[in-house]
């Protein structure tokens, strides 16, 4: 089966992007990274993508002001030029409109540094510590118009340690992110993920526990 053409959308560092690129280096992986697109011209991840000889594009959101759909039409033009089939948001710091999300329903993934539905939004690690949770983690989910919502594809947890700071916790969660994002993209690229109401089914079943997913 042809590998699915994937765009990774970034705004900054791009460590999840690197994890996806490395996974897709394996010819047996069912997706290829066909485009890295950033809304930030200075995003560090762009340089890495160029070194990896991956096509890159910049669509700066600033000239579009408050007109989010106009910005997204420019994104969409790039995605069409590169014949993209699946999008992975990886630290992409723009909210997407229902119009754009609808265009990509079931083919638009995001990674969030918390065990959703807990700790949507920013500063998840500090908030997890403040809440005293014992387990924290990361989630890859399909994107719906509400931020950090949408059917969960893969989730994995880390234990919170008594001496954790937001930084130490973030580092352990980031390792988990780099492991589960390639797993989730693989499942979607293989066509094994179905949406059933608010949930994802993988191979026809709801994912039973956090770490049991391939």
- Give catalytic residues, as residue numbers: 112
Quickly list DSSP for the chain: -PPEEEEEEESS--HHHHHHHHHHTSTTSSEEEEEEEESSTT-HHHHHHHHTT--EEE--SGGGTT-HHHHHHHHHHHHHHTT--EEEESS--SPPPHHHHHHTTTSEEEEESS-TTSS-SS-HHHHHHHHT-SEEEEEEEE--SSTT-S-EEEEEEEEPPTT--HHHHHHHHHHHHHHHHHHHHHHHHTT-EEEETTEEEETTEE--SGGG--
**Which listed residue (48, 107, 112, 141) binds ligand GRF by CB under 6 A?**
112
Residue 30 interacts with ligand GRF (CB under 6 A)? no
Among 90, 96, 176, 180, binds ligand GRF (CB under 6 A): 90
Applying CB under 6 A, among 14, 30, 151, 182 the residue interacting with ligand GRF is 14
| Rounded Cα distance, 19 and 33, in Å | 11
Binds ligand GRF by CB under 6 A, chosen from 39, 144, 177, 189: 177
CB of 115 to ligand GRF, least distance (A): 12
> Judged by CB, which is closer to ligand GRF: 44, or 73?
44
Question: How far is it, in rounded angstroms, from Cα 156 to Cα 208?
Answer: 12
Nearer to ligand GRF, 102 or 121 (CB): 121
Question: Could you say whether residue 148 binds ligand GRF (CB under 6 A)?
Answer: no
182 binds ligand GRF (CB under 6 A): no
Of all residues in the shown chain, the one whose CB is closest to ligand GRF is 91
- Residue 16 engages ligand GRF in binding (rule: CB under 6 A): yes
150 near ligand GRF, rule: CB under 6 A: no
In the bound complex, what is the minimum distance in angstroms from residue 170's beta carbon to ligand GRF? 7
Shortest distance, position 205 Cβ to ligand GRF, whole Å = 26
| Residue closer to ligand GRF (CB basis): 81 or 165 | 165
- Closest among 110, 89, 114 to 11, alpha carbons compared: 89
Residue with tokens 């995001």: 110
Q: Is 113 in the site for ligand GRF (CB under 6 A)?
A: yes
Q: Is residue 15 close enough to count as binding ligand GRF by CB under 6 A?
A: yes
CB 185 within 8 A of CB 22: no
Which residues of the shown chain bind ligand GRF in the complex (CB under 6 A)? 10, 12-17, 90-91, 111-113, 177
């Amino acid at each position: 089966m042809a590998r699915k053409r994937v765009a990774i959308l970034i705004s900054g560092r791009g460590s999840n992007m690197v994890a996806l690129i490395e996974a897709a280096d394996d010819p047996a992986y069912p997706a290829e990274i066909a485009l890295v697109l950033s809304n930030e011209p200075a995003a560090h991840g762009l340089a890495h993508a160029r070194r990896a000889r991956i096509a890159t594009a910049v669509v700066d959101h600033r000239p579009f002001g408050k007109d989010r759909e106009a910005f997204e039409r420019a994104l969409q033009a790039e995605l069409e030029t590169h014949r993209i089939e699946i999008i992975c948001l990886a630290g992409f710091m723009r909210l997407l409109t229902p119009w754009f999300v609808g265009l990509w329903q079931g083919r638009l993934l995001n990674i969030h540094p918390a065990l959703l539905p807990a700790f949507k939004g920013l500063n998840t690690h500090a908030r997890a510590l403040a809440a005293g949770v014992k387990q924290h983690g990361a989630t890859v989910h399909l994107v719906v118009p509400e931020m950090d919502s949408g059917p969960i594809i893969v989730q994995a947890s880390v234990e919170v340690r008594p001496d954790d700071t937001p930084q130490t916790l973030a580092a352990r969660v980031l390792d988990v992110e780099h492991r589960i994002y390639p797993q989730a993209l693989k499942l979607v690229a293989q066509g094994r993920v179905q949406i059933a109401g608010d949930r994802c089914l993988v191979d026809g079943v709801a994912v039973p526990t956090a770490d049991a997913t391939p």
